[in-house]
Chain A
Amino acid sequence: MNDIARKFQRDLNAGLVALVLLGVLADVDDDLYGYDIAKRLQRARQGEPLFKEGTIYPVLRSLAASGWLSSRIVPSYSGPPRRYYRITDEGRAVLAEWRTVWRHTRDFVDQFTGPSAAPAATFEEPTP
């Protein structure tokens, strides 16, 4: 990915990271800590990751501050205590709304950029 594509990806990610994190935590019955979540995302992705793992932690924190995730601290032998997150009922309600918003957005955007629309531009690394 070149710099312009990277910047576009970053702009897109502003809300998407929070949506994906709520989605990951809504899928599991257990609570997860940051590293678990990062590795789940890593396993699911194809190609270059959409966002760095380091950026999910502040988002987890802000989701917890909004009351959409609950968290508990568990001491760890290998380092600082780990913070485990679990989605709250309020978080599930928010996720349901966000999913609708996301589907609308995706369908709308696809009308103009999807496979049936004009061929999408392919990003290529600029040759030095």
Chain B
Amino acid sequence: MSADPNTLPRSIDEYLTQLRRALAGADAALIQDALSDAETHLRAEFAARSNESEASVLEAIAASYGLPADVAAAYLETDYKVQAALAPTPDRANSTRSSKRGLLREFFGVYGDIRSWTSLLLMPLSLVTGVLYFSIVLTGLSLSLGLAILIIGLPFFIAFVGLTRILALVEGRLVEAMTGERMPRRNRPSHRGRWTERLGAMFKDRRTWTTLAYQLLALPLGVASFTVAVTFSTLGIGLMGGGVVALLQALGLDVPGEALQWGTETLELGPVAAVLRSIGAIGLGILVLTALLNLARVTGRAHGRFAKLMLVAA
């Protein structure tokens, strides 16, 4: 089998292998998209020319669709432009600034970074998707094991793995929208052939198992990120809201609500101390929210990397 992307491939599989090789080192999601596009096109071409020999069809394809090397070049060129045009606001976090002022700006600059807000949204959302993935995978696995002694056990397992791949694609779209980590836009071409061969390929595919692991882990990770997001956003908003109410009360306005309390007893403070304390509470609230946004940005990136590692074929 010739692996040189500049020579004429002799089968669809060989074409795809050459294309994969020509794209080596590119983004895994881009490779997956390119392979899927090529396979769809080549199979359609083969279906349209079913009365011709495979060799002559492949020769025609090389002339019309292009050799793997040409196609790879087109993807690398176009995708680069797309990413440059659609890239989010320049990533200030990556600029190397070590001064205290720079660190402070970076800490509070998180408000201007759209990715930190979307990542914050992803944290509670992860619980919902986590519950969904976990229940589907657990049900699918137990039914597959339970049905294994019957004839329908294996076909059921194939269908179940197919479902987890669709879910992985959906998760990828969600992760890309929220964190900016590039994920596949199409499903990876699955192995063709008799169902026994497909089953074998499925068992041997590392990604089948990492996808299942990811979807099982999605629940505990979702619970953790939901808890952190809800706890700290409530704490921050509570401190800010309570601070505002206390400030208005300290200024003599008739605002409904309990006086701000430290512990269980209401402190009787002078008017200046009461104002300072409420401002302190507002400041603390802002600090907690800012810290949460920073944390969301970091976990968002980690979520994206983890999803890519587990869900996208290397």
Give chain B's interface secondary structure class: helix
In the complex formed, the residue of B with least CB distance to A82 is: B40
Q: Which residues of A lie under 8 Å from residue B185 when comparing CB positions? A: 61
> Which residues of chain B are within 8 angstroms of A59 by Cβ–Cβ distance?
74, 78
Within residues 63 to 98 of chain A, which ones have a CB less than 8 A from any CB in chain B? 65-66, 73, 76, 78-83
16 extra A-B contacts, CB within 8 A, seeds A54-B65, A61-B37? A34-B37, A35-B41, A42-B64, A52-B65, A54-B41, A54-B66, A55-B78, A58-B34, A62-B79, A62-B82, A73-B186, A78-B44, A79-B39, A79-B189, A80-B39, A81-B186
Given A34-B40, A35-B45, A58-B78, check contact A52 B66 (CB 8 Å).
Answer: yes
CA distance A57 to B79 in the complex (A): 11
A residues touching B (Cβ–Cβ < 8 Å)? 33-35, 38, 42, 49, 52-55, 57-59, 61-62, 65-66, 73, 76, 78-83
B71 with A55: CB separation less than 8 A: yes
Q: Which B residues lie at the A interface, using CB under 8 A?
A: 33-34, 36-41, 43-45, 47, 64-66, 70-71, 74-75, 77-79, 81-82, 85-86, 185-187, 189-190
The answer to whether A58 and B75 touch (CB under 8 A), given A52-B65, A52-B70, A53-B64, is: yes
Tell me the nearest residue of chain A to B43, going by C-beta: A79
Query: Which of B41, B66, B77, B187 lies in contact with A81, CB distance below 8 A?
Result: B187
* Cα of A78 to Cα of B39 in the assembled complex, Å: 10
> Which residue on chain A has the smallest CB distance to residue B35?
A80
B78's closest neighbor in chain A, by CB? A58
Q: Are B78 and A79 in contact (CB under 8 A)?
A: no
Contact yes or no, B41 A57, CB < 8 A: yes
Q: A55-B74, A66-B86 are in contact. Are A80 and B65 (CB under 8 A)?
A: no
Given A35-B45, A58-B79, verify A66-B64 contact (CB < 8 Å).
no
Residue among A33, A42, A57, A58 having the largest count of chain B Cβ atoms under 10 Å: A58
* Smallest Cβ-Cβ distance to B45: which chain A residue: A35
CA distance A33 to B43 in the complex (A): 13
User: How far in angstroms is the closest Cβ of chain A from B210?
Assistant: 21
Closest 7 CB pairs of A and B: A52-B66, A79-B43, A54-B71, A58-B78, A55-B74, A54-B66, A57-B37
A76 to B189, CA, bound (A): 12
Cβ B64 vs Cβ A52 within 8 A: yes
**Chain B residues whose CB sits within 8 angstroms of the CB of A52 once the complex forms:** 64-66, 70-71, 74
Contact A53 B37 (CB under 8 A): no
Tell me which residues across on chain A come within 8 A of B37, comparing CB atoms.
Answer: 34, 54, 57-58, 61
Is the CB–CB distance between B187 and A53 below 8 Å? Answer: no
* Distance of A1 from chain B, by nearest CB (Å): 13
CA distance A81 to B39 in the complex (A): 10
> Can you spell out 26 A-B residue pairs with CB atoms less than 8 angstroms apart?
A34-B37, A42-B64, A49-B64, A52-B65, A52-B74, A55-B71, A55-B74, A55-B78, A57-B41, A58-B75, A58-B77, A59-B78, A61-B33, A61-B79, A73-B186, A76-B40, A78-B44, A78-B47, A79-B39, A79-B189, A80-B39, A80-B187, A80-B189, A80-B190, A81-B186, A83-B40
CB <8 Å contact, B74 and A80: no
Residues of B with C-beta under 8 A to A55:
66, 70-71, 74, 78
A116 CA to B64 CA, complexed, in Å: 34
Q: Which A residues touch B64, using CB under 8 A?
A: 38, 42, 49, 52-53
Question: Which A residues touch B44, using CB under 8 A?
Answer: 35, 78-79
Residues of A within 8 A of B77 (CB): 58
Closest chain-A Cβ to B237's Cβ sits at a distance in Å of 34
- Which chain B residues border A57 with CB–CB below 8 Å? 34, 37-38, 41, 74-75
Q: How far does the alpha carbon of A66 sit from the alpha carbon of B85 in the complex, in Å? A: 9
